[in-house]
A and B are shown apart, each in its own frame.
Chain A
Amino acid sequence: MTGRILAIVLRQWRLFSGSWPRIADLAYWPIVQILLWGFLQIHIFREAGPGAVVLSALLGAILLWDIAWRGQLSLSLAFFEEIWSRNLGHLLVSPLRPTELIGGLMIVSLVKTGVAMVPAVAIAAFAFDFNLFSLGPALYLFMIALVLFAWSISLAAMGLVVRYGQGAQEMPWAIMLGLAPFCAIYYPLEVLPAVFRWVGAGLPPSYIFEGMRDVVVQGTVDLRLIAAAFALDALWLAAGAGVFFALLGSARRRGMLLQIGE
């Protein structure tokens, strides 16, 4: 089992390490994001003065959301690479189990997310005076909770692509962006109208971003928020995996795996 998971990691590493556009793409967008929002923050500070304390959480929010975004993107793209290269059929008739394939791709996703965030975190620290690690040990829990949520979205979207073909490959992006307004990324949940607050209450990132603002603004870690995020993550992951395996089964019944495409 370990050998097969390692084989998947190795296959992805070889694909990635030999492709400078893939490497550049990994770090490029987080850097663009942090520059854009970092300069905006400087501008708002200058205009609003030091009273705008809550804005100091902005870069933390940008970086954490990028971690979730990269987590989702790197898992989805790693899976799509197998479809684009018409290799999925080979993998699915090998002794590799679908759970092992997903496990291997999750390891790849973790590594790629970590690598992608290094330049952006460094720029935030040196150019905009925001040290992500100032969030303390809670930062690691925030990151894990966000990546787990991101993977749940990826799993569901991967299932959609297996079942409905490459025409559905925008799904991971669309689902993540569609949920973003309700995730309390840049503003507290209470800003949302009551009905959307209920939506946000069901999303793990809402608790993470509320918790992150507590740490930045008040210097306190609310463990109840983190616990709520992990409890919801478990539900989202179970649902994402359920959707993936249900749609994989449907694709097998409909004979879509041999010539998966549009």
Chain B
Amino acid sequence: MSAIVVENLVKRFAGLDAVAGVSFTVERGQTVALLGGNGAGKTTTIAMILGLITPTAGRVSVLGCDMGARGASAARARMNFQSPYVDLPKRLTVRQNLDVYARLYSAPRPAERIAALAEQLALTEFLDRRTGSLSAGQATRVGLAKALINDPELLLLDEPTASLDPDTADWVRSMLEAYRNEHGAAILLASHNMAEVERLAGRVLMMKKGRIVDDAAPRELIARYGRANLEEVFLHIAREGGGERTGAPQ
């Protein structure tokens, strides 16, 4: 059973297609990146997978559950996400926030789980501090702790290292790799950070104007487009209208 199956997904806002017929699957143990410029449809696609946005057309299945049906709640217990568009309540301490989410996700032995995550994410000394008093990097790590609170089989990450310094970002990427390898979890991430995508993702879905214009491993994409790195591939597609899966623009 695939972690995510997306079929002909469409989202139309005021007559414009934010997502225009996207189909892909993400297998367990796989990290897939959605890559594209602003407005390419990455966040909208993730929000439809999460059930925050109702698709205009198409179907989303997560861990075998149809996300448009009543069984979606069961799937949500086995997945989690982090996004810069949402926060954890700032007045609560880190421990209090994580405890609330441990309960919402019915995580067994919440206190032990929080302690283990805090150690893993170097948050132990911040557990009893108010979430609003943390630096951007610390808050991102707390967001990751929340995203891992239920040992998710599927992790959806929107710009997971956006506000982190290079060293911490690298550390978070290592942590995510380790989590995926240990748990066999699937990760779908949206990112503008090419180094991150090259490092984490086994497969990249290049999005432009709501469509997937290419779908391959980072090295394959670099070779296919004859570029030095993924950033150059990204810039080529963004500026010069790439997107012919069969072509190899020079």
Contacts and interface: CB of A to CB of B under 8 A. Distances in A.
Contacts of A3: 103, 106
B11 interface: yes
A97 B43 CA distance: 22
Given A85-B89, A87-B87, A258-B85, A93 B101 contact: no
A7 B104 contact: yes
A90 B101 contact: yes
A94 interface: yes
Contacts of B86: 86-90, 258
Interface residues of B, number: 34
B90 interface: yes
Contacts, number: 96
A85 B104 contact: no
Contacts of A15: 89, 91-92
Contacts of A257: 47, 52-53
Given A87-B89, A258-B53, A95 B105 contact: yes
Contacts of A259: 85
A10 B146 CA distance: 17
Interface string B127-160: 0000000000000000000100000000000000
Contact of B104 (A4, A18, A249): A4
B91 A95 contact: no
A253 interface: yes
A19 interface: yes
Contacts of A258: 43, 47, 52-53, 83, 85-86
A-B pairs with the 8 shortest C-beta distances?
A7-B103, A89-B86, A86-B87, A85-B89, A95-B77, A252-B54, A11-B100, A93-B50
B91 A97 contact: no
B91 A94 contact: no
B124 interface: no
Given A87-B86, A87-B87, 17 more contacts: A4-B106, A7-B100, A10-B99, A11-B92, A11-B96, A85-B90, A90-B101, A93-B50, A94-B105, A95-B73, A95-B74, A95-B104, A95-B106, A96-B104, A255-B44, A255-B53, A258-B47
Interface string B193-217: 0000000000000000000000000
A46 interface: no
Nearest to A253: B54
A224 interface: no
Nearest to A259: B85
25 contacts: A6-B103, A10-B100, A11-B92, A15-B92, A85-B87, A85-B89, A88-B86, A89-B52, A91-B104, A92-B51, A93-B76, A94-B76, A94-B104, A94-B105, A95-B74, A95-B76, A252-B51, A252-B53, A252-B54, A253-B53, A253-B54, A255-B11, A255-B18, A255-B52, A258-B83
Nearest to A3: B103
Interface in A58-99: 81, 85-97
Contacts of B50: 93
A254 B83 CA distance: 19
B234 interface: no
A153 to B, nearest CB: 25
